[in-house]
A and B are shown apart, each in its own frame.
Chain A
Amino acid sequence: MRIKLRLLSYFGVTLLCSLIFSCLSLDPFLFKDQKVDAYLLDEYTGFRECASAIEFLKDSVQPVIDEISLMSGGETIYGLLLRHDTTEITQNDTLILYFHGTSDHIDRYWPRTKLLFATGFPVFVIDYRGYGKSTGEPTEEGCNEDGKQALAYIASNLNNPRVILYAFSLGSLPGCAVAAADAKGQIKQLVLEAPIGSVATLVQDASYLNLPGSFVTTFTGNNAERIKSVSIPLFWIHGTKDETLNRETNGLPIWQNHPGKKGYYIIAHESTHRENPITIGYSRYIKCLRDFIRDNSPKDPIMISK
């Protein structure tokens, strides 16, 4: 009897402790946000994706940089506008809106941002709430709202140019949400690099099993579904050795479900999640983007190796 009571007490205490703490949520773990007081850009010494692009672009036109802040759901969102000169952007211009990945802040993606600028078009990059100088804490809905407000800012403060939305990795969640909700047709083309298929796909790829996404997160982002209502041309880039987001389960369903005019896609042979521009080659990467934006893309997908 004493043994039974002891055993019951073991399980009782365990259960009680677990239930007390069962309010723990895994949602915040999806974001690897880091706050900063100022952007260091070329001077940043932390990890930068495609860092060699800074050296590669040293002799090209350097951007005129404006730091911009905008309001989104009570939070202040910071971003950088890169232009070739101080001339105002007009309605006839094309602007690339860049949604970065899950880690750190703009400084980490600064070389990537400069590569986009090297296409010859101005670039607007934002930090989602909780990232970099932006206030608040990142949430799924919050990041989507930040993306929408960035688009609204472009319309109202930058003379409503043609927008090319470039979304990388986690940025594809707000990217597809914003593109799908763009009733005014402000976004003319969409570029998805190593996108997330859906939050459920993340869970099922990680577990190898058909586990519900709700086991892990309340996030419901589903780009493979959202893309069905996006009819603008799509350019998809994904590496065959993407160790983070499997190409077949994440990017491919988006590409297949996209009903609009396809742009083209690049299969970056042997490329990992962060190295697509490196694998493709910076010059070729810039040319491919420029061709896509100028509607001069090849019809068939291309496989590019290092």
Chain B
Amino acid sequence: MKRLNAKTVLLLSTIVMIITNCSTIRQIRPLEKGQQSVSFSVGGPVTEVGSVYIPLPLMSFGYNRGLIDNTLDLETGLHVTQLLYGILDVEVGVNFRPFQSKAWQPGLIISPKLFFMTDFSGGARLYPDLCLTGFWKLHEKVYLFTGLENWFEFSSTRDDGLEQKNHWLLVPYIGTNIGSQRWQFQFETRVYTPNLKNTGRATKNIGFGEYGVLGFFLGVNFTPGKEKK
């Protein structure tokens, strides 16, 4: 019986993760021009599976490439779990770093992105996303960060004919990035839509009372040395 409950929870949580970017912040540390980085993250909304609540193991790959030394990098991502279910979910955007962390002054990453999703059967969606991340370089090997992800839905009507009431979805997050320049590990906590009720959605998540959905993620980044020119 628990197996079957888990199946249903997985279905509905998959719906959740389709939309609200279920991955870690891909690139906390700045990249030099031409420098590349690949990342993998796993985690998701804390969801009831059987009789326990666990973060769903939703997988995502990312690729970043520095465009301007320590200031601008290209970011792309592929959400693997969705692909397993026949949905191509890819993202592309940039990370712009107007200033770096100095002592207790945080650095800032402004990350405008586009998410494209299609099920190859006529259904396709394009969503803009804006992440604002503040980060502190506490040590050569330790970064702390926090930020706010903003998803935008421009439809005024849903496919079921009802009014689309949510046009701006907020996802605050906090995390730490630990490791060498080459390998980094990341732990991140997200709160999905803390301003929206988490009930009436056919899935049970842990939030703050009736609001929001808590999520936990683990990530790993591999950043090879500076590319030879």
Contact = CB atoms under 8 A, between A and B. Distances in A.
A35 B111 CA distance: 50
B85 A26 contact: yes
A19 B78 CA distance: 13
Interface in B15-73: 15-16, 18-20, 36, 38, 61, 63
A94 B60 CA distance: 56
Contacts of A241: 199
B138 to A, nearest CB: 29
A185 interface: no
Contacts of A23: 86
Interface stretch (A37-45, A150-158, A196-204, A278-286): A196-204
B36 A215 contact: no
A303 interface: no
Contact of A205 (B18, B161, B201): B201
A52 interface: no
A32 B202 contact: no
B201 A197 contact: no
B119 A245 contact: no
Nearest to B201: A206
Contacts of A215: 15, 18, 87, 117, 119, 123
Contact of A22 (B1, B86, B117, B153): B86
B174 to A, nearest CB: 22
Contacts of B84: 18, 21-22, 24
Contacts of A242: 199-200
Interface string B119-144: 10111010100000000000000000
A25 B85 contact: yes
A209 B5 contact: no
Contacts of A15: 78, 83
B10 interface: yes
Nearest to B162: A249
A212 B119 contact: yes
Nearest to A241: B199
B19 to A, nearest CB: 4
Question: Chain A: interface residue count, which band?
Answer: 35 or more
Contacts of A31: 4
Given A204-B159, A211-B19, A243-B199, A24 B85 contact: yes
Nearest to A196: B202
A148 B180 CA distance: 65
Interface string B154-177: 010111111010100100000000
A249 B200 contact: yes
Contacts of B166: 208-209
Interface residues of B, number: 54
B169 A200 contact: no
B202 A244 contact: yes
Contacts of A205: 200-202
Interface string A1-36: 001000100110011001101111110111111100
Interface in A91-149: 102-104
A259 interface: no
B102 interface: no
Contact of B161 (A3, A33, A102, A253): A253
Contact of A3 (B36, B121, B158): B36
Nearest to A199: B160
A198 B203 CA distance: 16
A208 B193 contact: yes
A200 B155 CA distance: 15
B202 A206 contact: yes
B10 A24 contact: no
A242 B38 CA distance: 43
A86 interface: no
Contact of A200 (B1, B36, B160, B202): B160
A246 B160 CA distance: 14
Given A245-B200, A245-B202, A203 B83 contact: no
B161 A224 contact: yes
A222 B85 CA distance: 23
Which one of A104, A209, A242 has the highest number of Cβ atoms from chain B below 10 Å of its Cβ? A209
A212 to B, nearest CB: 4
A15 B84 CA distance: 10
Nearest 10 pairs of A and B residues by beta carbon: A246-B200, A212-B123, A29-B11, A18-B83, A210-B155, A206-B15, A200-B160, A29-B7, A214-B123, A243-B199
Interface of B: 1, 4-5, 7-8, 10-12, 14-16, 18-20, 36, 38, 61, 63, 78, 80, 83-87, 117, 119, 121-123, 125, 127, 151, 153, 155, 157-162, 164, 166, 169, 193, 196, 199-204, 224, 227
